[in-house]
Amino acid sequence: MRITGILFDKDGTLFDFAASWTGWAHGVITALADDDATLEAAIAECAGFDLARGGFRADSIAIAGTERQLAEALGPILPHLSTSEIARRLKAGAHSAQMVPVASLLPLMDHFIASDLTLGVATNGSEGEARSHLQAAGILDRFAYVAGYDSGFGAKPEPGMCRAFAETQGLDPATVLMVGDSLHDLHAGRAAGMRTVAVLTGMAGHQDLAPHAEIVLPDISHIPGWLATMTDH
C-alpha cells in the first residue's frame, strides 16, 4: 500500500528539541522565579529541567505535554499566579524561540511533495506557535495541515489530531506515516490507524521508541531512503 501522507510532530522531529528549547526553558524558569533561587530550583524540578547540566530530563513534562499541562503542574509552586497567567507567560516567549532544524527542511519537504505526499504537522504546542516556527523556517506553506493542542482535536497521545489530518486531506490513515520523537506521537499515530516512524532528535532513546514504531531513524532526513527500500511504496 503506497504511502500518501506524512504527519510530523514539530519539537524533537522537525526541530532538534534540546538545541531549540534549552535556552528558552532556562530563561522562562528564571523569569518565573523572579530572582528567588529556591523557587527557581522548585520550578526546574517540576518542569523536569536540570539547572546544573542545563538541559531537560527525559521524563520532563515539557517534552511531550502541552503548555496548559505544564502550567497546571507549576500551579502549586506558583500560587500567586493563575494557571492561565502561567500558561500566558510560557507561551509569550515560545513563539519567538529560535528553532534549530534537524536537517535542511525546505528541500526535504519539497522532495516529499514532489513524491506526491501530503504533509501535515501535529504538535502539543499551540497552533499559533507552530505556524510561527514553521514560517520562520520558510516551510509553512509546504504543509496542508497544521494542528496544535488548541486546534479543537485534543492533544497527543489521543488520536484526534492524527485522525483530523487524514479526514481533512481525504487520506486513508493506513497510508499515512506519523513521525515523532516521543511515545505520545507514536501512541497517537497507532490509535489513529497510521504507520509510525520514530526519530532520535528528541529526548527519548531507541530502546524506548522501538517497540512502538515500524522503524527508528536518526532523523527525518533518512525517511526518503527508507521509503525507497519499501517494496509496497
The DSSP symbol for 60 reads: -
Phi, psi of 156 (to 5 degrees): -70, 145
Per-residue confidence band for 24, with pLDDT thresholds at 50, 70 and 90: confident
Query: 207 and 136, same structural domain?
Result: yes
Query: 34 and 52, same structural domain?
Result: yes
Query: 195 and 110, same structural domain?
Result: yes
* pLDDT score, position 232: 47
Query: 72 and 122, same structural domain?
Result: no
Domain boundary among 94, 117, 132: 94
Query: 68 and 170, same structural domain?
Result: no
63-72, 131-140, 159-168, range with the lowest pLDDT: 63-72
Query: 124 and 10, same structural domain?
Result: yes
pLDDT digits (tens, 9 = 90+) for 109-146: 999 999 999 999 999 999 999 999 999 999 999 999 99
Once rounded to an integer, what is the mean pLDDT over residues 17-37? 91
Do residues 202 and 12 touch, judged by C-beta distance below 8 A? yes
CA nearest to 197, candidates 218, 222, 215 = 215
Query: 121 and 83, same structural domain?
Result: no
Query: 219 and 182, same structural domain?
Result: yes
pLDDT digits (tens, 9 = 90+) for 197-221: 999 999 999 999 999 999 999 999 9
Query: 156 and 84, same structural domain?
Result: no
Name the maximum alpha-carbon separation found in the chain: 59
Per-residue confidence band for 65, with pLDDT thresholds at 50, 70 and 90: confident
Query: 66 and 116, same structural domain?
Result: no
* pLDDT score, position 231: 56
CATH number at residue 152: 3.40.50.1000
Residue ranges making up the domain that contains 70: 18-94
Once rounded to an integer, what is the mean pLDDT over residues 70-96? 90
pTM of the model: 0.89
Q: Residue 233 above 70 pLDDT?
A: no
Query: 49 and 133, same structural domain?
Result: no
Rounded Cα distance between 12 and 184, Å, is 12
Domain boundary among 94, 125, 145: 94
